[in-house]
Structure 1
Amino acid sequence: MTEQEVRRYLRQMKEEDSERAFHGFYNLTYDRLFRIAYYYLKREEWAQEVVLDVFMKLWEMRDRLLAVDNIEDYCFVMVKNASLNYLEKEERRPDADGGEAVDMEAGMGCSPEEEMIGEELFARYVKALDRLPERCREVFIRVREEKQSYAQVAEELGISVKTVDAQLQKAVKRLMVALEG
């Protein structure tokens, strides 16, 4: 995601009330915001719900978004807060289906400083992941986050297993460099 592209979409959303620009903004930012929500919620359906709610809020406040200095960080904070609020709501909700209780131990046992460092590191990881070449990022996400096998990824993407391995190694190296700095 480039700042210029985002600013262009935000300007069109404000000046033209453009739903097309909003769709462009959505397509450009959805994956990153989903990964942030999933990091906190650990459930795909909850993460989708939270991100869609955030996008609704962004559309409603489209007239004020151009004034935001760093829209990337602003959206990150919105998704983080919405995710934490969602977890809190789910924790208070009686367990109607008799299923598992919500796991709130993700942030427990850490000092606020440790938690903040972890969140900053995660934000850097998400930014670095977005800067990977498209194929490289897709292979990394499928293998490391979605836990697909090399063979499965190769078949779905129409590439060889060796290419999957090479793309994954490339992604890991680039992410390590980005996270070290």
Structure 2
Amino acid sequence: MQETKQIQTKKEFEQFFNTHHADLVRYAYKFVQRTDVASDIVQEAFVKLWEGRRHILANISLKAYLYKVVYNLSLNHIEQLKLRARHHDSIYTDLMEMEMDYYKDEKSLLQEERLESIRSMLNELPKGCYEVIDLSRFQGLKNKEIAQKLDVPVRTIETRIYRCISKLKELVKRAV
């Protein structure tokens, strides 16, 4: 059977199939790197050949035609994989952002609850303690700035902060 001869019968098609199938699978495998996918691609190429056998010109090489079809189908398969990968990456990125937003919101709610709990515990402390802790921890003032603001020595501020934190630790232990 010549390569440029049209395939007219099932027997001619089977003979052509048996002659070229294995080589075409190896050819497709070079692109897709999976035997099952390469085999599916070659199968699809042969289906295209059989369905279009009456429209294929008699002067073209059927072997060259099939190799070109297998090549194009392989590239299409690779492109589909790339599109799926980009789609999956996009979905993964979206999910990660949603998860981060969720936990950020949840974390800020937890932080707000903890802060509220600490503030209520601070209200149980003597007035001097609350004022020093508020200036130091919530307003971010340095011990020297607090001392100037309250017109007391820096050492007094350090002692008050230490005592307030110790009392706060006791309150936290009781709350837990």
TM category (shorter chain) comes to 0.3 to 0.5
Output the TM-score relative to the length of structure 2.
0.44
Output the TM-score relative to the length of structure 1.
0.43
The structure with more helix, counted as a fraction of residues:
2
- Structure number with greater Rg is 2
